[in-house]
Amino acid sequence: MNILAIESSCDETACAIIADEARILSNVVVSQIDIHSAYGGVIPEIAARSHIEAILPVVHQALADAKLAITDIDAIAVTHTPGLVGSLLIGTLTARTLSVIHDIPLYPVHHLKSHIYANWLSGHNPDFPLIALVLSGGHTQIIRMTAHNDFTILGSTRDDAIGEVFDKVAKILGLPYPGGPAIAQAAKSGNDQAYHLPIPQVSGLDFSFSGLKTAVLRAVQQALNLPISTPSHVLKDHLSAQQIADFAASFQTTAAKIIALKLHQALLDYPDTKSILLAGGVSANQIIRDTITQRFHHNHHVFFPEPAFCTDNAAMVGAAAYYAIQAGTQATDPYALDISPRSPIS
């Protein structure tokens, strides 16, 4: 089976060809980071326009890299939810058109399922039941899987997603967008014990990161002896390089602790868990990876996607579609498929 997969939920235009057992034949990604970094975040209208320019060349390149023609494709997979409306429309309309013109079965894929299935792209075969931590710019969730294509949300963020908080803290510290890589780099020369930041007390398996972001802001204001009315964009002009590094390291370590504490609680609630998976852009953070590995590898198999597959890509969409098809999922009507900017995993 050859699956042509398309991903355009945010600011990456991507197409991949996936074969049996989630084997990658090609994987093409055109990123818009350089465009959006000037604005400190993704501008939806600009993202959609960039997808229009890139989508067909990306599809053609993926087919060329795999040395296949469209007639060699057995299924088309596309991210249809969640994401930015304009971005989702470009990818979904492209997939629907290809499906209709070439009479190829079409499979819609949930974006968060794709991130989880990035763990299968490196030849890993996690044992079920498992718990997946989805850590990205727009989502923070704990998800339980007892089999392929079986998902139960155990906990979600009540406010900001972890990746969003990385971006906002980076902005407070005067670091560039995207915040995750910038904070990780700055933290390398920092002392993660320099500033003691609070651990949010949230019942159940839900997360809350908004308070942590505010705690960093208040700690910076206090360290600089500035009133709390001082705008956050002014603070960076008063911070030394070492202070920036220390704040980045302290924040990063605190975020890792929060994630590990919630995972520990989930494992107590579900003691039959065999594998732990991390997924999403923030799962590339080495401190978070090290924290999870050190705490849980003695009793569980711990898996991470390769760094290239942590951020948005189409190979993970193809992997999710492949295992959904193997689990008996039926193709959808290309004329009826619609997008949804917000939709829970199910």
pLDDT digits 0-9 by tens, 269-315: 999 999 999 999 999 999 999 999 999 999 999 999 999 999 999 99
Quick one: pLDDT at residue 152? 97
Give domain status of residue 332, yes or no: no
Q: Is the pLDDT of residue 230 over 90?
A: no
Do residue 134 and residue 281 come from a single domain? yes
pLDDT class of 124 with cuts at 50, 70, 90: confident
Do residue 60 and residue 178 come from a single domain? no
Quick one: pLDDT at residue 120? 96
Do residue 36 and residue 93 come from a single domain? yes
Q: What is the mean pLDDT of residues 219-243?
A: 90
Can you read off the two tokens belonging to residue 39?
């604005």
Do residue 57 and residue 102 come from a single domain? yes
Question: Which of 108, 245, 233, 226 shows the shortest CA–CA distance to 185?
Answer: 245
Quick one: pLDDT at residue 138? 84
Quick one: pLDDT at residue 322? 97
- Is the overall model pTM greater than 0.85, yes or no? yes
For the segment 144-200, what is each residue's pLDDT rounded down to a tens digit? 999 999 999 999 999 999 999 999 999 999 999 999 999 999 999 999 999 999 999
Do residue 97 and residue 77 come from a single domain? yes
Three-state DSSP class for 31?
Answer: strand
CATH of the domain at 18: 3.30.420.40
Give domain status of residue 336, yes or no: no
Question: Which of 141, 134, 95, 140 shows the shortest CA–CA distance to 118?
Answer: 134
Do residue 95 and residue 237 come from a single domain? no
Cα-Cα-Cα-Cα torsion 164, 170, 174, 178, nearest 10 degrees, comes to: -70
Question: Which of 104, 205, 217 shows the shortest CA–CA distance to 155?
Answer: 205
Give domain status of residue 331, yes or no: no
Can you read off the two tokens belonging to residue 142?
């704990």
Give domain status of residue 52, yes or no: yes
Do residue 65 and residue 137 come from a single domain? no
Do residue 142 and residue 208 come from a single domain? yes
The total number of structural domains in the chain stands at 2
Question: Residue 128 contacts by C-beta under 8 Å, 6 or more apart in sequence?
Answer: 145, 146, 147, 148, 274, 275
For the segment 125-150, what is each residue's pLDDT rounded down to a tens digit? 999 999 999 998 888 999 999 999 99
Question: Could you give phi then psi for residue 247, rounded to 5 degrees?
Answer: -65, -40
Give domain status of residue 333, yes or no: no
pLDDT class of 264 with cuts at 50, 70, 90: very high
Do residue 89 and residue 137 come from a single domain? no
Give domain status of residue 341, yes or no: no
Give domain status of residue 345, yes or no: no
* Range of the structural domain that residue 239 is part of: 126-304
Do residue 107 and residue 185 come from a single domain? no
Q: What is the mean pLDDT of residues 100-121?
A: 97
SS3 labels along 248-274: HHHHHHHHHHHHHHHHHHHHHHCCCCC
Cα separation, 139 vs 143, whole angstroms: 12
Q: Is the pLDDT of residue 236 over 90?
A: no
The answer to whether 82 touches 138, Cβ cutoff 8 Å, is: yes
The answer to whether 138 touches 164, Cβ cutoff 8 Å, is: yes
Do residue 135 and residue 85 come from a single domain? no
Give domain status of residue 279, yes or no: yes
For the segment 2-39, what is each residue's pLDDT rounded down to a tens digit? 999 999 998 899 999 999 999 999 999 998 777 777 77
CA angle 27, 32, 38 (to 5 degrees): 160
Cα separation, 93 vs 337, whole angstroms: 9
Do residue 163 and residue 294 come from a single domain? yes
- CA-based end-to-end distance of the chain: 25
Average pLDDT value over all residues in the chain: 95
